[in-house]
Chains A and B, each alone.
Chain A
Amino acid sequence: MSAFWAILAKDLRVELRTLQSLPAMVLFAVTTFVIFRFGLDRTTLEGSLAAGVLLVTVLFAALLAINRLFVPERDEGGFDAIRLAPVDASALFWAKVVALVVYLLALEAVALPVFAVFFLEEWSGLVPLAGVLLLADVGLGATGAVVSTIGANSRARDLLTPLVLLPLLVPLTIAAAGAAEPLLAAGGPQYGGVGKWAAALALYDLTFLLVGYAVYDFLVED
């Protein structure tokens, strides 16, 4: 656990100090909402369209952080340092998953109110929506950490990571949109079907957390 906390604390400290990912994610999300607002020429959104706009924006904003997730490990010898230490390499995986979830929560703390101001007439669905987003964040964190590790060791990192990651995120997007759609329905949130999609999201999360944990040693070894 000590290695996990050391890596997580290092990541959060460096992000707070350098602000390399979070401001870019927030700016990207807000700008995307502005583009959707004018591109769709709509002042309100509801149902599947609202869910789609929100989730696709969060997903693409997450890509900015995922692409940078292992840059210090690759460029500053972090992979070597961790492999030289008597620690399980999966500590790196878990720390990166949690760091990514923290970044996404911080992003959503800003992006969700902005989304609501731009597009929603009815805000009472936001609290259960935050729960859906948390489940989506865990899946994004797990999948993102695995794919970003693969990408970090490739010369085509900026290209490879989104190309591999986006298809893997299709099931997550379908489940998250399915859960979010009734919560953003016109006239207030409805809860029919939310549980089923939330369960699918949780299953996705569990699958990729287990896959990441199982294969991570092989990913970081030469």
Chain B
Amino acid sequence: MSEETAAAPETGEPAVRARGLRRDFADVPVLRDVSFALPRGSTLVVLGPNGAGKSTLLRIVATLLRASGGELEVLGARVPRDAWRARGRIGYLAHSPLLYRDLTVAEALDFHARLHGIADPAARRGELLGAVGMEGREGQLVRTLSAGQLQRLAVCRCLLHDPELLLLDEPAAHLDPHAMAVVAPLLGPAPGRTRIVVTHDVEGGLAEADRVLVLRADGRPAYEGPASGITADEARAVYAGGAA
């Protein structure tokens, strides 16, 4: 397998294009020289050991964190300069659910629906809660939900505005197999939907990926290219400190 860099877009303008992205925290580099181009409608799976900068990369693409260096375009917008053009078109499922704990399930989703200007929040809320198997919990306070229920609610929040770009940071976290089976179709590939998925499930990730980015523990890319260009064993070798 050969290492690839900065893949050119396959067709049309890519949904996300990164060139030499770098992020430092207090002069400690956590992400270095990351380049990729992700065609619209495709899935990039990001693999790598803890501390490799996967979540940092996702926050940068979500326009929530500035890169310390490099260039980034998200949905045609230069980030951070034109980040406002991409916002509202991104669905971000993070480690934190981004939900107020002292609101009820319905109030929490309606709050986000109003931020995103959704015309009929109640209908959209009902549709999504039904899809994740949480109908009937509208009046329950968010802080009383279990971790798995909270993750399902976060999935609803993430999909509320039908985003073009999904950024999923370990979407299976806290979900039991049944809940994962319920949620997977909602977060899976769909026409016109571009996805970046951070996961530690190497086999599962490679199976759903069009492109793969493997980050080393020092934040440098070990591999960036088509999913067919790397095996699960090669990806796993990076977790152990080897080269892809």
Binding site for B on A (CB under 8 A): 2-3, 5-6, 10, 13-14, 17-18, 72, 76-78, 80-87, 221-222
Q: What secondary structure prevails in chain B residues at the interface with A?
A: loop
Binding site for A on B (CB under 8 A): 62-66, 80, 84, 87-90, 92, 94, 96-103, 107, 111-112, 114-117, 157
Q: Which of B84, B98, B107 contacts A77 (CB 8 A)?
A: B98
Q: Which of B66, B87, B111 contacts A84 (CB 8 A)?
A: B87
A2 to B88, CA, bound (A): 14
Residues of A within 8 A of B97 (CB): 77
Evaluate whether A82 and B115 lie within 8 angstroms (CB atoms) in the complex, with A13-B103, A77-B94 already known.
yes
Kindly report which residue of chain B lies nearest to residue A81, judged by CB atoms: B98
Shortest CB-to-CB span from A89 to chain B, Å, is 10
Kindly report which residue of chain A lies nearest to residue B85, judged by CB atoms: A86
Evaluate whether A83 and B64 lie within 8 angstroms (CB atoms) in the complex, with A2-B117, A13-B103 already known.
yes
3 interchain residue pairs of minimum CB distance: A86-B88, A77-B98, A85-B115
- A86 & B87 in contact (Cβ 8 Å cutoff): yes
Kindly report which residue of chain A lies nearest to residue B101, judged by CB atoms: A76
- B100 & A10 in contact (Cβ 8 Å cutoff): yes
Q: Which of A13, A17, A80 contacts B92 (CB 8 A)?
A: A80
A14 to B96, CA, bound (A): 19
Kindly report which residue of chain B lies nearest to residue A17, judged by CB atoms: B102
A213 to B102, CA, bound (A): 28
Q: Which of B92, B111, B116 contacts A10 (CB 8 A)?
A: B111
Shortest CB-to-CB span from A115 to chain B, Å, is 31
- A222 & B111 in contact (Cβ 8 Å cutoff): no
A124 to B215, CA, bound (A): 72
Kindly report which residue of chain A lies nearest to residue B117, judged by CB atoms: A2
Evaluate whether A76 and B115 lie within 8 angstroms (CB atoms) in the complex, with A83-B63, A83-B87, A84-B92 already known.
no
- Pick the most buried of B90, B98, B117: most chain A CB atoms within 10 A of its CB: B98
Q: Which of B65, B96, B100 contacts A72 (CB 8 A)?
A: B100
Residues of B within 8 A of A6 (CB): 111, 114-115
